[in-house]
Amino acid sequence: MRITLTRPDDWHLHLRDGAAMRAVLPDTARRFGRAIVMPNLKPPVRTVAEAAAYRDRILAAVPEGLAFEALMTLYLTDNTSAQEVAKARSSGFVHAVKYYPAGATTNADFGVTAVEKAWPAIAAMEEQGLPLLVHGESTDPGVDVFDREAVFIDRVLVPLLDRFPRLKLVLEHITTRQGIDFVRAMPANVAGTLTAHHLLYNRNAMFKGGIRPHYYCLPVLKRESHRQALLEAAVSVDAKFFLGTDSAPHAQSAKECACGCAGIYTAHAGIELYAEAFESAGALDRLEAFASFHGPDFYGLPRNTTRVTLVREDWTPPDALDFGDGQRLVPLRAGEAIPWRLAH
Ligand code: DOR
Ligand code: ZN
């Protein structure tokens, strides 16, 4: 069996920088036409000038013969100015601003300490129609790790959208039924991305036979009833939901240790894993809308015109991939079969 679809885009991707970026970029560029590139480098990408330089480094690493576009983002801080937002909007290559609550996740130390501090930038974004991409997790240490998304929605997102009702907002990597319900209840300026790993796995995966660091990401995997709510939303052909892998590579040594980093690498099978999830719901015919139409429609960009073909044929990713500078990267499903393969 084969399926052909309009080339998909990845609306949430971590590419890192330097040799690591050069090692992982081909996986994405082979599958996706465009990707929204996360700004959480060390130090983060906070200005249009920094985004331009990072974009140049990425484009220089795109393998010959592939047409890949890097859609850049800025990292929102307490000090992001309305002027920088206006500059981003007119740049033509910065397509969104990323909101990490300070300390919420990897390289989030420069993030927003209190949302009020970012109001001037957010007001400018609402005005200019530049989307705010949200890592939606409460950083209140008293909140249980599995409740952080739901609490953030109630405490931060609902009031934020009351204040800025026309703000284009994407709740990134939704992991709970509450996240799905929130996006559905809001008007068309609010959307959400879904990762393949949250569609395929529940939190048991992290503990199967022992502690499994390669299933650890943030927001953390949730219980099965949440996974089912996400899958149901993904296949529902609701334009508010679209593909964002959140592929987040870390060196094997940084994952397999006493305090392992959050992040799951999926770009090596970035569309294939979604095909597996959609097939499990008997909804392969709805993959194209989710993967290739809803994202560009929300961002006001044209849909891709080239196509990709997937073949229903098992293949097995290697135990580890090259991650540059002598480092190794363990991909999701290392040493285990994936039922869909990209046709060349
Ligand atoms: O698991 C994650 N990894 N979640 C994030 O929010 C950040 C990401 C990363 O950059 O590694
Ligand atoms: Zn991410």
Q: Does the beta carbon of 41 sit less than 6 angstroms from any atom of ligand 1? A: no
Grouping H, G, I as helix, E, B as strand and the rest as coil, residue 184 is: helix
Q: What is the pLDDT of residue 344?
A: 77
pLDDT at 92: 97
| Phi/psi-derived region of residue 326, left when phi > 0, alpha when psi is between -120 and 50, beta in every other case | left
Fold (CATH) for 2-310: TIM Barrel (3.20.20)
> CA dihedral in degrees (272, 274, 280, 281; nearest 10)?
-150
For 77-84, what is the mean pLDDT? Answer: 97
**Binding site membership of 40 for ligand 1 (Cβ less than 6 Å):** yes
The answer to whether 308 and 271 are in contact (CB under 8 A) is yes
Question: From the CA atom positions of the chain, what is the Rg in Å?
Answer: 19
Per-residue pLDDT reduced to its tens digit, 220-234: 999 999 999 999 999
| Start-to-end CA span in the chain (Å) | 15
109 has pLDDT over 80: no
> Is the predicted pLDDT of residue 263 greater than 80, yes or no?
yes
Q: How much is the average pLDDT of 47-74?
A: 98
Cα of 246 vs centre of ligand 2, distance in Å, is 5
Of all ligands present, the nearest one to the C-alpha of 216 is 1
Please give the distance, rounded to the nearest whole angstrom, from the Cα atom of residue 1 to the centre of ligand 2: 32
Segments making up each domain of the chain, as ranges: 2-310
111 Cβ closer than 6 Å to some ligand 1 atom = no
Average pLDDT score over residue span 10-18: 98
Q: Using an 8 Å Cβ cutoff, are 275 and 36 in contact?
A: no
- Which tens digits make up the pLDDT trace of 172-196? 999 999 999 999 999 999 999 999 9
Q: Using the predicted structure, report yes or no on whether residue 1 has a pLDDT greater than 90.
A: yes
Residue 257: band (very low, low, confident or very high) from pLDDT cuts 50, 70, 90 = very high
pLDDT of 105 > 90? The answer is no
Nearest to 9 by CA among 134, 104, 96: 96
Using the mean position of ligand 2's atoms as its centre, give its distance from the Cα of residue 54 in Å.
17
Cα-flanking dihedrals φ and ψ of residue 342, to 5°? Answer: -75, 130
Digit-coded pLDDT (tens) for 132-147: 999 999 999 999 999 9
pLDDT score, position 104: 75
What share of the chain in percent tops pLDDT 90? 97
250 class by beta-carbon count within 10 Å (0-12 exposed, 13-18 middle, 19+ buried):
buried
Ligand located closest to 108 CA = 1
Distance of CA 155 to CAs 161, 162, 220, 230, 248, Å?
A: 11, 12, 19, 22, 27
Secondary structure class of 73 (helix, strand, coil): strand
What integer is the mean pLDDT of 24-38?
A: 98
* Active-site annotation, residues: 246
Ligand 1 atom nearest to 135, measured from its CA: 6
Using a pLDDT cut of 70, give the percent of the chain over it: 99
How high is the pLDDT of residue 103?
80
CA distances from 335 to 293, 317, 321 (A): 32, 6, 11
